Chains A and B, each alone.
Chain A
Amino acid sequence: MWYYEKRLEFPVKIKTPDASLAQTIITQLGGPDGELGASMRYLSQRYAMPYNNVCGVLTDIGTEELAHMEIVSAIVHQLTRNLSMKEIKESGFDKYYVDHTTGIWPQSAGGEAFTAKFFQSTGDPITDLTEDLAAEQKARTTYDNLLRLIEDPDVREPIKFLRQRELVHFQRFGESLRIVQDHLDSRNFYAFNPAFDKQESGNNMQNRKGNCGCKS
């Protein structure tokens, strides 16, 4: 269940439109390391997570990513206000404009459509959380690359906020991975998948053969 709150997590008030910039920033909506993929990744992975506090991290960060999707969309929307046909042609925005006018559609900076192939939900908590750590760093790199392109402080400030959130989320996912590992056999975290395999009691762990499919 979700309820909407009628405000952005970080305000966006861009005075000067810039269609060329909009085309690069849109990648953090629908690109390979964008906020839509981030949100769908964490919210999808929750169901295979056996530990309630890590379900909390996935739910709460997945929810914050929805708010980030909205911030990126607002930036793109405000950067593409009141464009003349001359500006649309000269900025290269014409290729987006012809399909979407100035509506918001999730794509990468290179024009690739958003796809669920940008993220995984493997049903293995260690694997999923390791992907989540990488995802936060990839998004941070993308924001760093964007910040080198952006001079307007009206655009830089919300992008800097979003970049900072990637670092905090990375930290929380690192703690989540530790929590998952604390539930597992410290000599072999991969002995079984706690979301799938039938687990033997913790103190009997050294005698178990493991369900990993590998030779013990």
Chain B
Amino acid sequence: MRYQKKELLNYINVVSFAVVEANLYLDTHPNDEAAIEYFNNYQRARNQALREYANAFGPLNLDTAVINREFIWADQSWPWQLEG
């Protein structure tokens, strides 16, 4: 495994922020090639990290959730909690 839980969550926060920021920029600059490449790179990194996180530590969203015997989505801590 490449990352510990905290580190991987931090990485997801960073690449997700890049996606949000590029998303807003592209809304008003839809033909900016450099921004499109930036968006595509970070979106790919984000999707891969979300899948990695779900496999190792539990899902951050339902699209990447791997549900076997137990529905761990609701059982695990929530992000506003200090320990979350």
Contact = CB atoms under 8 A, between A and B. Distances in A.
B13 A61 contact: no
B61 A6 contact: yes
Contacts, number: 68
A91 B24 CA distance: 40
A9 B13 contact: yes
B13 A11 contact: yes
B70 interface: no
B82 A78 contact: yes
Contact of B30 (A53, A74, A78, A169): A53
B23 interface: yes
- Chain A, interface size category, equals 20 to 34
Given A3-B61, A3-B63, A77-B80, A9 B20 contact: yes
Interface residues of B, number: 26
A61 B25 CA distance: 11
A108 interface: no
B80 A8 contact: yes
Which DSSP category, helix, strand, loop or mixed, fits chain A's interface? helix
A209 interface: no
Nearest to B28: A175
A28 to B, nearest CB: 15
A176 B82 contact: no
A35 to B, nearest CB: 14
Interface of B: 9-10, 12-13, 16-17, 20-21, 23-25, 27-30, 59-63, 73, 76, 78-80, 82
Interface of A: 3-14, 53, 56-57, 60-61, 64, 70, 73-74, 77-78, 81, 168-169, 172, 175-176, 179
